[in-house]
């Protein structure tokens, strides 16, 4: 599961909001699919740039992740590197493309867990649920002892 970072949580929510507001979505397009839309947000590349990079190698996101090499300097590997640096794992990318991470799906009521991987509204719901789960994990990691004590104010009489 992804490393819960404010950057990743925010990127998931921004991506979901953009999809809700009508951002281009096309599951069969490497830059406009589930991973492609999140990649746009994390890398600031356009959907066409991401698609062009991915087409330099064969396959969908699952194949790209399977063939990923952190030192290859292939453009799609550089995109994946940025996504990993934001807190994602290779498994997260596979799950995002299929909307099938068990922990994310457990955030939904039983009757709403059967998401379709290529339906915009399901992608939006999945990203919101995932962001909420990561936010809970992040908040659980914060200990009150980690916070700096407030300085005491002394009032003179």
Report pLDDT for 152: 56
29 three-state secondary structure? coil
φ and ψ at 60, to 5 degrees? -85, -170
Please count the other Cβ atoms lying within 10 Å of the Cβ belonging to residue 19: 19
One digit per residue, the tens of pLDDT, for the chain of length 157 reads 888 899 999 999 999 999 999 999 998 899 999 999 999 999 999 999 999 999 998 889 999 999 999 898 899 999 999 999 999 999 999 999 999 999 999 999 999 999 999 999 999 999 999 999 999 998 887 765 555 555 555 666 5
Q: Tokens 């799609």 correspond to what residue?
A: 76
Entry pTM:
0.85
In angstroms, the first-to-last Cα distance of the chain is 55
How many Å separate Cα 123 from the centre of its chain? 11
* Dist CA 58 CA 60 (whole Å): 7
Report pLDDT for 153: 59
């Amino acid at each position: 599961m992804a490393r819960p970072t404010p950057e990743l949580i925010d990127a998931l929510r921004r991506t979901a909001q953009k999809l809700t507001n009508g951002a281009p979505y096309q599951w069969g397009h490497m830059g406009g699919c589930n991973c492609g839309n999140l990649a746009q947000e994390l890398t600031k590349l356009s959907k066409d740039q991401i698609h062009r990079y991915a087409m330099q190698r064969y396959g969908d996101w699952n194949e790209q992740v399977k063939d990923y090499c952190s030192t290859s300097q292939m453009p799609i590997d550089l995109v994946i590197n940025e996504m990993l640096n934001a807190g994602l794992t290779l498994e997260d990318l596979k799950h995002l493309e299929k909307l099938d991470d068990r922990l994310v799906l457990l955030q939904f009521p039983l009757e709403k867990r059967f998401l379709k991987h290529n339906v915009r509204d399901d992608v939006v719901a999945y990203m919101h649920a995932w962001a909420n789960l990561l936010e809970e994990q992040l908040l659980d990691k914060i200990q009150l002892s980690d916070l700096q004590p407030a300085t005491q104010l002394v009032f003179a009489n």
